[in-house]
Amino acid sequence: MPETTKNKKRAGSALVLFSGGIDSTTALYWALRRYDRVLPVIFDYGQRHRVEINMARKTARRLGLEPRLIKVDLRQIGGSALTDEKIKVPAFKKAEEIKEGLPVTYVPFRNGIFIGLAAALAETIDISHVVCGFNVIDSPNYPDTTGSFVRAMEKAINEGTGARLKGKKLRIIAPFLKMKKSDIIRLGLSLGADYSYSVSCYAGGEIPCGRCSSCLLRARAWQEVGEKDHLLARLKKEGKI
């Protein structure tokens, strides 16, 4: 079963699926408190918001970590506003306007592909855990962030890799599945997380558009926390906003 607690202490090694957003940044700090060896894995999948790649690298290196970059061009598949420039990123005035149903920003089976590649890398370099920042409370319409999805992927990986013969299972750890984004931020702050280079905007720039679903959910979460978003504070200090 995937690990979903946030207090359990263990040694060992972990890969962290690291986009550099709020959730994965918190996951990285979370993993650093629990594992002896931590490797952030960044995916260059042809995303519209490619600025997140350099920002994620910066966050990792500020923590003394050298991330692994994996390239897989999901533009060849399309079907998402994040990988097809012809599809517009929806804009809203407030988070409450975000519609039910499969979002146009959903990238088909993206997290399944990422977990599969991370599992292959983990097997190659002898790492036993893959940590993900998935959560469904604030973004319930993404099918590849749920607990059932995580459990199914973990089972498939352990059936279809060397783990089946070696008896050494790979664990998928999703500690934030049942947490709101504001609670994830609070946890990160308690771990000393710095979100200054954490980019979430789907529009493609370092400066948040403030209208996409990711920006609105992030803004609402920081408002619930009662603190200024670290990213906005940095951008203001640098005279960019």
Per-residue pLDDT tens for 33-55? 999 999 999 999 999 999 999 99
In a domain, 34, yes or no: yes
Helix, strand, coil in percent for the chain, rounding step 5: 40, 10, 50
Q: What is the pTM of this model?
A: 0.93
Residue 204, pLDDT above cutoff 70: yes
* Helices 110-124 and 147-160, axial angle in degrees (round to 10): 40
Q: Which of 109, 119, 114 is closest to 171 using CA atoms?
A: 119
Q: How far apart are CA 218 and CA 224, in angstroms?
A: 10
Taking only the tens place, the pLDDT of each residue in 78-136 is 999 999 999 999 999 988 888 889 999 999 999 999 999 999 999 999 999 999 999 98
In our burial notation (b when 16+ CB lie closer than 10 A, e otherwise), range 107-137 reads: bebbbebbbbbbbebbbeeebbbbbbbbbbe
pLDDT for residue 140:
85
Evaluate whether residue 3 is within a structural domain. no
Residue 97 lies in a domain: no
Return d(Cα 122, Cα 112) in angstroms, integer: 15
Written as six digits, the tokens of 221 are: 């979460």
- Overall average pLDDT of the 184-203 stretch: 97
- Confirm whether 210 is domain-assigned: no
Domain count, the chain: 1
Most confident of 15-19, 96-100, 135-139: 15-19
Could you tell me if residue 211 is inside a domain?
Answer: no
For 57, residues 6+ apart whose C-beta sits below 8 A from its C-beta are 20, 42, 67, 69
The mean per-residue pLDDT over the stretch 215-237 comes to: 97
Q: Is 20 within a domain? A: yes
**3-12, 73-82, 161-170: which range is least confident on average?**
3-12
pLDDT at 182: 97
Parent domain of 193: 13-88+107-199
Kindly state the tokens that stand for 162.
């060397």
Residue 8 pLDDT class (50, 70, 90 cuts): low
Which CATH number characterizes residue 184's domain?
Answer: 3.40.50.620
- Note whether residue 35 is domain-resident: yes
- Spatial distance between the Cα atoms of 92 and 235, rounded to a whole number of angstroms: 23
